[in-house]
Amino acid sequence: MSGKKTEKIVKAGLYVVVISILGWAYFSGAFQFIIDNPKDLLYLTGQHLKLVGISAALAIATAIPLGILITRPKFKKLDWIVLNFANIGQTVPSLAILALVMSYFGLGWQTAIFALWFNSLLPILRNTVAGIENVNPQIIDAGKGMGMTSKQIFFKLELPNALYAIMAGIRTSVVINVGTGALAFLIGGGGLGDLIFTGISLYDTGIMLSGAVPVILLAVLLDVLLGKLEKIIVPRGLQRTLEAA
């Protein structure tokens, strides 16, 4: 089949591109900088991970409970407001959020965490709400009819069935956060953005790439890891149905 052939060609092309970029990065001295300054890289990567980790953890800890809260019947009326706010919030460019937060709170590590927290809050919140609200109402009806208490309905039906969407929200949010984390350098948060922006302003490809490449690897790696985690956490009965959707 010609489809298989094209696929092979495209795949091969892709490898060539990736390898040539790496090769070219090597010859342009990108890895020289890393080799010369392994401690810098390690330190900045650690800082980057801390930024991303803390802000993501805070975002998860706030967004999921908030999402659950506004899907409860008592607060159902609020969900319209919160979702609209989340929709608009997600349209605001992340650089604008970082810059605005910084213009009010000044440069610093806490400012960066706060801005990143806000930035990663919305995808999780939106997915939590959507995930819970999209649980097939017939399932809830069956559960009620079988005599489940509202607590049982939440923990045994709503939450497990929304888990796929919630995990997807976390994954999106964390991956975006790695990238936004590179901007955190601008507002005093440190991280791998340090090397990227320094490289750009010095016209030094080596320094720039020694920041950019780890950031890319970090994003891809976290994406893959969270994908694996998703497979473990999300009930198996849900994985097939949702893949098809």
- When the beta carbons of 69 and 159 are compared against another protein, the nearer one is 159
- Min. distance of Cβ 160 from another protein in angstroms? 4
- Min. distance of Cβ 72 from another protein in angstroms? 19
Query: Is the Cβ–Cβ distance between 197 and 212 less than 8 Å?
Result: no
- Min. distance of Cβ 38 from another protein in angstroms? 20
- When the beta carbons of 61 and 217 are compared against another protein, the nearer one is 217
The rounded distance, in Å, linking the Cα atoms of 55 and 118 is 8
With CB under 8 A as the contact rule, which of the stretches 39-47, 110-118, 125-133, 139-147 interacts with another protein? 139-147
User: How many residues are recorded in the chain?
Assistant: 245
- Min. distance of Cβ 220 from another protein in angstroms? 5
What does the per-residue mask of binding to another protein show for 74-93, with x meaning CB under 8 A?
--------------x--xxx
Structure tokens at 2: 């010609």
- When the beta carbons of 66 and 219 are compared against another protein, the nearer one is 219
Which member of 72, 76, 156, 231 binds another protein (CB under 8 A)? 156
- Mapped onto helix, strand or coil, the DSSP state of residue 149 is coil
- Min. distance of Cβ 245 from another protein in angstroms? 10
Which member of 141, 202, 229, 231 binds another protein (CB under 8 A)? 141
For residues 172-201, which are near another protein according to CB under 8 A?
175, 178-180, 182-183, 186-187, 193, 196-197, 199-200
- Min. distance of Cβ 39 from another protein in angstroms? 22
216 touches another protein (CB under 8 A): yes
Residues 6+ apart with CB under 8 A from 171: 223, 226, 227, 230
Say if residue 56 is exposed, middle or buried (CB neighbours under 10 Å; 0-12, 13-18, 19+).
buried
With CB under 8 A as the contact rule, which of the stretches 59-67, 68-76, 109-117, 143-151 interacts with another protein? 143-151
Burial 218-239 (b: 16+ CB within 10 A, else e): bbeebeeebeeebeeebeeeee
| 3-state SS record for 150-164 | HHHHHHHHHHHHHHH
For residues 17-36, which are near another protein according to CB under 8 A?
21, 24, 28
Q: Which amino acid is at 204?
A: D
Query: Is the Cβ–Cβ distance between 140 and 83 less than 8 Å?
Result: no
